[in-house]
Amino acid sequence: MSQETLVFEDIITKIDTKHNDLRVSEMKLRSFILSPVFLKTFMLMELLLGSFEDKVVTLVEAATMPVPGLEEKKEEAAETEKKEVESQLNLPKALVLVSANVASIMAVQQKLVPPILAIAVIPSSVVLVFLPQVREIVSSFLHRDELEEGKDEMESLDWITETISKIRAKYTSARFLVKIQSQTKESVPEYVEQGVDEALYDRTKYFNETLPSEFLSLIGRIMIACEKNVWVRKTFLINAIMISRQMAAQQKSG
């Protein structure tokens, strides 16, 4: 096993470890948000939210850190894929293409078909003969755009820190509104008699029912982005490992 393969596998292991740490931190934060003491123990909220933020940042750093040799492996993989596609553009397919076009032109000259048919046949024959290559090229461009988009999203921590800051600010605001709220079912017995839901006049009840769904939704968006981009980086690394092993095998056989 080559040295660079060991390096790539070590990075994957580190990413997996930090990814698992983030999941544990997320579950603790979710459990607290859904607990009865959600609005009562603000220090624990700060502790768990801060830990979650640290785990996210640590994972992002691990997943976006430049890897020696990785860019070279990606370029080698792209070049190999290009050569494989070009090798499929062989003489038999070219002969099929030429034959189809000649036949269509001859049919037009003999007035067996209208000229517009030849105009349609020529480009259509190109697409049909080389359909696998066209599909491969389109797929590779779409896949590359998807990976680049994921990379940009992961490299920017601004949206993550801003989202967590919004959670902090909203939680703090809710806690102080609870402190100054004055309506309870004891202070407004007429609401109780009318069957009005407590969440409509008791701020504690209101925030206990509204904040969890809002916070969990924001946390979920962060986790989805992390999951997506961890997969992107691990895919790059696994491809690099495969290329390294193939090159090592070719060197041995040579």
Q: What are phi and psi of 192, to 5 degrees?
A: -65, -45
CA distance 56 to 199: 33
CA distance 47 to 37: 14
- CB neighbourhood size of 105 (10 A): 14
Q: What is the DSSP string of 170-216?
A: HHHHHHHHHHH----TTT-HHHHHTT--GGGT-HHHHHHHHHHHHHH
- CB neighbourhood size of 37 (10 A): 10
The structure's pTM equals 0.64
Asked if residue 7 lies in contact with residue 68, where contact means CB atoms within 8 angstroms, the answer is yes
Helix (H, G, I), strand (E, B) or coil at 107: helix
Any idea where the domains of the chain sit in the sequence?
Answer: 3-86+133-253, 90-129
Summarize the chain as % helix, strand, coil (round to 5).
85, 0, 15
Q: Which of 81, 69, 16, 68 is nearest to 231 (CA)?
A: 16
Long-range contacts: 20-25, Cβ < 8 Å, 24+? 21/55, 21/58, 21/59, 22/52, 22/55, 22/56, 22/58, 22/59, 22/223, 22/226, 25/51, 25/52, 25/55
- CB neighbourhood size of 204 (10 A): 19
pLDDT tens-place values along the chain, 254 residues long = 567 778 888 889 999 999 999 999 999 999 999 999 999 999 999 999 999 999 999 998 888 877 765 555 556 555 655 555 555 545 455 555 556 555 555 555 565 555 554 455 445 554 444 445 444 544 444 444 444 444 444 446 788 889 999 999 999 999 999 888 767 666 666 666 666 667 676 788 889 999 999 999 999 999 999 998 898 888 888 888 887 777 767 667 75
CA distance 228 to 70: 19
**Structure letter (DSSP) for residue 150:** H
Confidence at residue 45, expressed as pLDDT on a 0 to 100 scale: 96
